[in-house]
Amino acid sequence: MALMDKHKVKRQRLDRICEGIRPPILNGPMHPRPLVALLDGRDCTIEMPILKDVATVAFCDAQSTQEIHEKETADTSLCLILNLYRRVTWMHQALREGTRASSVEQIREVAGDAARIRGETLGIIGLGRVGQAVALRAKAFGFGVIFYDPYLPDGVERSLGLQRMATLQDLLIHSDCVSLHCSLNEHNHHLINDFTIKQMRQGAFLVNSARGGLVDEKALAQALKEGRIRGAALDVHETEPFSFSQGPLKDAPNLICTPHTSWYSEQASIEAREEAAREVRRAITGRIPDSLKNCVNKEYLVAASQWPSMEVATVHPELNIASAYR
């Protein structure tokens, strides 16, 4: 019985191979000099030294995703928050456009809504590494920091001295400034939308250095125009590259935008590229996913059963077809 089942699975597999569907085979044989491709960039100078003896490195320069380096992103997030409260970016812009402020009354006018920070509440959505870094920096300015994160286990808040909110609504109701630091997944597209914006405080601030898809820009534009949101600072947008002259935010006031650069610093960029190349090297020279340091789909990989209760050694000879297909 067991042998018949085994053959049935194998037949299904070979059928799929012939249909052109690549089976998930971990640690199968690999080309001695496999091809590693940089998908959405052109510059491989950092990766080359790490990989050149085990792989061929190529670039595709297609359009796709970025990665985040946590400290840079946290520092930029604080910069965005401070620019909303202290209005430096807008005032610099006003000066560039020729505004002059001679008397104190004129100074007060240019400075507009510049607000005191101590006593304000910063609401962090997503208390991962970036969220935590932002929380600790914000405390130094006198922010009361609260967070919402449905994925974290109990007690994290006690380590850091933050207040945890049980629901998104609770967080929105109690925050003077909301900052997004969660990843985008199938559950939280347009997390910030017309309905949730109406749960926010009148005149609250919004900061997003996470993912554009978390925010419904049409709803945000409307809220900015009506003053329900006093100001927004966005490093990421629904459509990138962002342009002030296009899209739903085109005529929205009180906006600060940067072109998805919160992660970037020269050092972070180099480090990230080196680490990525090293991870590819580990994949090529070691075992997947055991040798990998930051495999994000490990649980799904291992669960997809391949040759149940078959040894790896017996798998190999049957896979020559597969490897050639590779």
Partner 1 sequence: MALMDKHKVKRQRLDRICEGIRPPILNGPMHPRPLVALLDGRDCTVEMPVLKDVATVAFCDAQSTQEIHEKVLNEAVGALMYHTITLSRDDLDKFKGLRIIVRIGSGFDNVDIKAAAELGIAVCNVPATSVEETADTSMCLILNLYRRVTWMHQAMREGTRASSVEQIREVASGAARIRGETLGIIGLGRVGQAVALRAKAFGFSVIFYDPYLPDGVERSLGLQRMATLQDLLIHSDCVSLHCSLNEHNHHLINDFTIKQMRQGAFLVNTARGGLVDEKALAQALKEGRIRGAALDVHETEPFSFSQGPLKDAPNLICTPHTSWYSEQASLEAREEAAREVRRAITGRIPDSLKNCVNKEYLMATPQWPGVDHGAVHSEHNGAAAYRFPTGLVGVTAGGLTGAGAAVEGIVAGNLAMAHGIAPMSRPPHTPSPGQPSKAETDRDMPTDQ
Q: Check residue 160 for interaction with partner 1 (CB under 8 A).
A: no
Please give the Cα distance from 171 to 179 (Å, whole number): 11
Task: For residue 250, state whether it binds partner 1 (rule: CB under 8 A).
Answer: no
CA distances from 77 to 27, 179, 181, 196, 317 (A): 40, 8, 9, 21, 53
Distances from the Cα of 50 to the Cα of 27, 42, 69, angstroms: 21, 17, 20
Rule CB under 8 A: say whether 187 interacts with partner 1: no
3-state secondary structure 171-222: HHHHCCEEEECCCCCCCCCCCECHHHHCCCCCCEEEEECCCHHHECHHHHHH
SS3 30: coil
CA–CA distance, 138 with 155 (Å, rounded to integer): 20
Residue 326 known to be catalytic: no
Q: Is 260 a catalytic residue?
A: yes
Q: Does 184 bind partner 1 (CB under 8 A)?
A: no
Choose, from 181, 237, 260, 282, the residue flagged as catalytic.
Answer: 260
**The one segment of 18-26, 111-119, 309-317, 318-326 that binds partner 1 by CB under 8 A:** 111-119
Binding residue (CB under 8 A) for partner 1 from 117, 276, 302, 322: 117
Q: Which of 105, 154, 186, 226 binds partner 1 (CB under 8 A)?
A: 105
- Smallest gap, in angstroms, from Cβ of residue 326 to partner 1? 28
Catalytic residue among 67, 109, 240, 318: 240
Contacts of 129 (CB under 8 A, 6+ apart): 70
Q: Quick check: 45 binds partner 1 (CB under 8 A)?
A: no
Q: Using CB atoms within 10 A of its CB, is residue 45 exposed (0-12), middle (13-18) or buried (19+)?
A: exposed
Asked if residue 274 binds partner 1 (CB under 8 A), the reply is no
Catalytic-residue membership of 240: yes
Measured CA to CA, the distance from residue 150 to residue 266 in angstroms comes to 33
Residue with Cβ nearer partner 1 (4 or 104):
104
Tokens 């970016």 correspond to: 89
Q: How many residues bind partner 1 (CB under 8 A)?
A: 72
Nearest distance from C-beta of residue 248 to partner 1, angstroms: 16
Does 186 contact partner 1 by CB under 8 A? Answer: no
Asked whether position 79 contacts partner 1 by CB under 8 A, the answer is yes
Q: Which stretch binds partner 1 (CB under 8 A): 13-21, 123-131, 164-172, 266-274?
A: 266-274
Contact call for residue 321 and partner 1 (CB under 8 A): no
Q: Does 35 bind partner 1 (CB under 8 A)?
A: no
234 - beta bridge partners? 208, 257
Instruction: Kindly state whether residue 132 participates in binding partner 1, applying the rule CB under 8 A.
Output: no
Cβ 235 to partner 1, closest distance in Å? Answer: 8
Rg of the chain in Å (alpha carbons): 25
Exactly one of 36, 55, 132, 137 binds partner 1 (CB under 8 A); which one? 137
Q: Does 243 bind partner 1 (CB under 8 A)?
A: yes
Whole-angstrom Cα distance, residue 191 to residue 122? 17
Q: Residue 78, exposed/middle/buried by CB under 10 A (0-12, 13-18, 19+)?
A: buried
Q: Is 313 in the site for partner 1 (CB under 8 A)?
A: no
259 binds partner 1 (CB under 8 A): yes
Residues that are catalytic: 211, 240, 260
